[in-house]
Chain A
Amino acid sequence: MTDLASQVETNRFVGSEFLLWLWFESEVLETNLRPTDGPPCAIWIETQITLNTDSDEARIKSAMPAATPEAKQALRQGKLPKQARLRAVIEEHEFSWVLKADALAVGSLKIPTELKAKDEPYEALYERMMITEKLEAVLEGLFTDFARMRLSAAWDGIFVPLFMRWARGTPIDEAAYSAEKAKVLRAAKKR
């Protein structure tokens, strides 16, 4: 495999961890996420989430699937989210899409548009791309913060124990979490 091809295949599980972190943040921060680079947004999981291990899978469908006891139980069984339908509000735009964790791929994305392809195809395409790029910019910003946290010593030392307590229903101190996160992001930015 070439270096680039191996980059594509290396550590695909990190995509599941990103989705797990989004879920955790969404719950603990009451959906209000603030990527370091990018505008603030509201993000939450809706209607479906699939969690798996190499040998087992749990598909949960409900209005708020991540809030069900089954979802947290799956985490406690060692499963990680494989894909989920997410909803986001970014500035005045609302988005709904399925995030496939192992490829960070977007599926079934619904975006608010005004122009119709049959009337003004290129203008409609331009509008669709402009709006889609707003979502991509937010996801990029969120992934950057996540990657900085994931590659810090605090991931295993501080954040994973927090995730474990959260998966067991223990209330998480939002301020303490945000302070630890800010410390990690500040240190990463200095490098």
Chain B
Amino acid sequence: MGALRGSLTFSRFFIVGDLPDDLPGFGLKRIRANVCQELNPDEDALEKHGWASVLDPFDTELDHEKVFFNEYAVLSMRVDRWVVPGPLLKAHLREAEEKLLERKGLEKIGKKAKADLKIMVVRKLRKQLVPVTRTVDLVWNIPTGVVLFFSHAKKSHELVQALFEKTFKLQLLLESPGTAVHRRGLTPSEELLFANLEPTILADPGELS
């Protein structure tokens, strides 16, 4: 579930870097430049991602009202991907191979021809399918610099970190025990102590599992 309804599952990120003076103006221009583009079946790209409205993943005509309210900026990262079901691809590929063999009067197709045929079949099938779309919401509290991203998946984290940096020229630092400790400000001796911490174990030596 995302930011709008249901239970909330999120990871926290912190902004690294200085905000531009005119964030809504600068930000909106950059967001528009990085909205999710439609996948084209004739292109090689298997996946595309970018920003979309948090209310409607297919709305990429983003304006100020859709993104900024009070102290927040809200966006969805939309990821579109071609997914051609394996059995469907297999069946169409076999059919195409048989037709090619018959047309050319051959008994066997070479590796290269087989690979080219697969690309053709995949492109043809993509025209009959719609990409699979998934979205992950993002809520940025601008004054505090805290970003809630509604997924725990590492791959989604990497995607949004790159997209956010490309869009706003700001880094997103993932919350973890290490970053949480450092965020509180450590003296040099605490820094050294933290670097050399050993895990706490409550077992007596003989009780270790």
Contact = CB atoms under 8 A, between A and B. Distances in A.
Interface of A: 4, 6-18, 20, 53, 55-56, 75-80, 97, 100-111, 117, 121-122, 124-126, 128-129, 132-133, 136, 143-144, 147, 150-151, 155, 160, 163-164, 167, 191
B88 interface: no
Interface string B173-198: 11111111110101100100111010
Nearest to A132: B8
Task: Place the interface of chain B in its size category.
Answer: 35 or more
A87 B77 CA distance: 30
B207 A108 contact: no
A163 B11 contact: no
B203 A76 contact: yes
Contacts of A143: 180
A18 B177 contact: yes
B178 A111 contact: no
Contacts of B72: 125-126, 129
A94 to B, nearest CB: 14
A165 B197 CA distance: 22
Contact of A14 (B181, B184, B190): B181
Q: Kindly name the residue among B8, B54, B148, B174 whose own CB sees the greatest number of chain A CB atoms within 10 A.
A: B8
Nearest to A161: B202
A118 B99 CA distance: 52
B9 A108 contact: yes
Contact of B178 (A12, A109, A124, A150): A12
B173 to A, nearest CB: 6
B202 A78 contact: yes
A105 B10 contact: yes
Interface string B89-126: 00000000000000000000000000000000000000
A143 B12 CA distance: 14
Contact of B152 (A80, A105, A125): A105
Given A13-B199, A106-B8, A132-B8, A53 B209 contact: yes
A151 B202 contact: no
Contact of B8 (A8, A15, A111, A160): A111
Contact of A163 (B4, B70, B139, B200): B200
A151 B203 CA distance: 21
Contacts of B171: 4
22 contacts: A7-B178, A7-B182, A8-B176, A8-B179, A9-B178, A13-B177, A16-B199, A56-B209, A75-B203, A76-B203, A104-B12, A106-B8, A107-B9, A125-B74, A128-B4, A129-B72, A129-B141, A144-B184, A147-B184, A151-B186, A151-B190, A167-B202
